[in-house]
Amino acid sequence: MNTRVWLDPWIPDIPARPAKGMITEKDPHLYVDHLIDPVSKQWKLDRLHALIDTSDIPLILGIRLSRLYLSDGFSWNGTKSGNYSVKSGYWAARELSRPTCDHPFQGPGITPLLAQVWKLKTTRKLKHFVWQCLSGCLAINHTLFYRHIGKEKHCPRCGAEEETINHLLFECPPALQTWALSPIPSLPSSFPSQSLFSNMDFLFWRVKGMMNGEEIALIFPWILWYLWKARNSFIFENIRESPQNTLEHASQEANAWKTANSNDVTPDEGIRISPDPLLLGSSQPECQIDGSWKINDPLSGHGWIVMNGTSPILMGLKSSRRGLSPLQAEFETLLWAMECLIADSKTNLGFASDCSDLISILDNPSDWPTFAVELQLFKLLKLSFPSFYIRFIQRCNNVRADCLAKKARTRGSLFSHGVMTPDEMDLLVEQVKRLAVAWTCFRFMRLQMMRQTPSAYENYRKSGRYFDIVYHENA
In the CATH scheme, what is the homologous superfamily, with its name and number, of domain 277-420?
A: Ribonuclease H-like superfamily/Ribonuclease H (3.30.420.10)
- 140-191 pLDDT, tens digit each: 999 899 888 888 889 998 988 999 999 999 999 999 999 999 988 888 778 8
Tell me the pLDDT band of 473, cut-offs 50, 70 and 90.
very low
Q: What is the largest CA-CA distance in the chain?
A: 104
Measured CA to CA, the distance from residue 221 to residue 114 in angstroms comes to: 14
Q: Answer for the pair 323, 332: CB distance below 8 angstroms, yes or no.
A: yes
Phi-psi domain of 229 (left: phi exceeds 0; alpha: psi -120 through 50; beta: other): alpha
Q: What is the pLDDT of residues 65-82, one digit of tens each?
A: 877 777 788 888 888 888
Domain ranges of the chain: 111-260, 277-420, 427-474
**Distance (Å, whole) CA 340 – CA 287:** 11
Q: Are 427 and 315 in contact (CB under 8 A)?
A: no
Across residues 302-323, what is the average pLDDT? 89
Burial class (CB in 10 A: 0-12, 13-18, 19+), 187: exposed
| Residue pLDDT, tens place only, 100-118 | 554 554 556 788 899 999 9
CA distance 78 to 302: 26
How far is it, in rounded angstroms, from Cα 285 to Cα 341? 12
271 neighbors 356 (Cβ within 8 angstroms): yes
pLDDT at 57 over 50: yes
pLDDT at 267: 44
The answer to whether the beta carbons of residues 369 and 85 sit under 8 Å apart is no
Q: Give, as one character, the DSSP assignment of residue 182.
A: S
Task: Tell me the pLDDT tens digit for each residue of 189-243.
Answer: 788 999 999 999 999 888 777 766 677 788 999 999 999 999 999 999 999 999 9
How many residues are listed for the chain in this entry?
475
In this structure, which long-range contacts are made by residues 237-246, counting pairs with CB atoms below 8 Å and at least 24 apart in sequence? 241/174, 242/174, 243/174, 243/175, 243/177, 243/178, 243/180, 243/181, 244/181, 246/174, 246/178
